[in-house]
Amino acid sequence: MTTSIEPEVRLVAGALGAEISGIDVNTLTDEAFDRIHQLLLAHQVVFITGQTELAPEAHIALGRRFGEVELHPYLPRLEGHPEIVIIDSEDGGKVDVWHTDMTFHQSPPQVSILRLLQVPETGGDTMFTNQCLVYEELSTPLRDFLDGLTAIHVIRIGNEFTSRAEHPVVRVHPETGRRSLYVNRLFTSHIPQLSRNESDAILEYLFRFSEGPQFTCRYRWHAGDIAIWDNRVTQHYAVNDYRDVRRGQRVTVLGDHPTGDQPRWEHYVAAPGQRYWPDRVNAVDNY
């Protein structure tokens, strides 16, 4: 396969997603990368087919074209190539909850680049949502309210790893200027300007709304396919509907600190003795 400056492009769904064929990432030219980057900004996630012979060095080099490559804090890495994380369905690699990668960091990743090496005969698709469309489909009063809020994002893995960050509920994309909803079911704990029960109610609505099928695409993998998603404006969900092994390798590119409007209210302070009983997936951070 030779690199083509004008690859073939097929849109995956109306909301987001573009599939690219006719590119060999091992011999990627500047012109071909520019085309990939343009399509990523336009469609939020791109899928590059036919990369069965991709060298680890080329996978890492593709990530470095976007920015600094991350060394993941707790997932297993490929021997000799610590920039590459191993995703294995037999070793904790099934994440069937809608999420945006690592929003618990102060500067979450901007781009993730996943190549699947082994795929189930059936099942194992990945779904993505366009969080720009989600924000734009909210009513004007609700958008105005959310623009003035922040959210706390948290992860705790026993005593091994803990991270916490506060980000705008609505972030502004640093390259396109589009606004997107920036909360997710896996890592967003609460909105600190609201009481905990108010926060739970608002977040549950936003989670359910953002997961609506009208905002999604669904990709059927073939071994060697690469997915590149813009972590600043998407969520994703690995569909857990298979029994066969699903294995891949991922490179993640460090991002900037999410920016949006300044919060318009101070953090909520609970009254003495006020109690809260969590009923949400991520309620690990108390206040």
The residue among 138, 250, 270, 247 whose CA lies nearest residue 202 is 138
Distance CA 128, CA 238 (A): 9
Residues marked active site are found at 99, 101, 236, 250
The residue among 53, 115, 55, 46 whose CA lies nearest residue 86 is 115
The residue among 11, 51, 52, 9 whose CA lies nearest residue 28 is 51
Tokens of 189: 């704990």
* Type of residue at 243: R
Alpha helices (H) along the chain = 30-43, 56-66, 131-137, 140-147, 196-210
Rounded to 5°, angle at Cα 69 from 127 and 151: 55
Helix (H) or strand (E) holding 214: none
The residue among 101, 282, 287 whose CA lies nearest residue 189 is 282
* Phi then psi dihedrals of residue 113, to 5 deg: -130, 105
Distance CA 71, CA 78 (A): 11
- DSSP strand E in 5-90: where? 8-11, 18-21, 45-48, 77-78, 81-88
Distance CA 281, CA 203 (A): 11
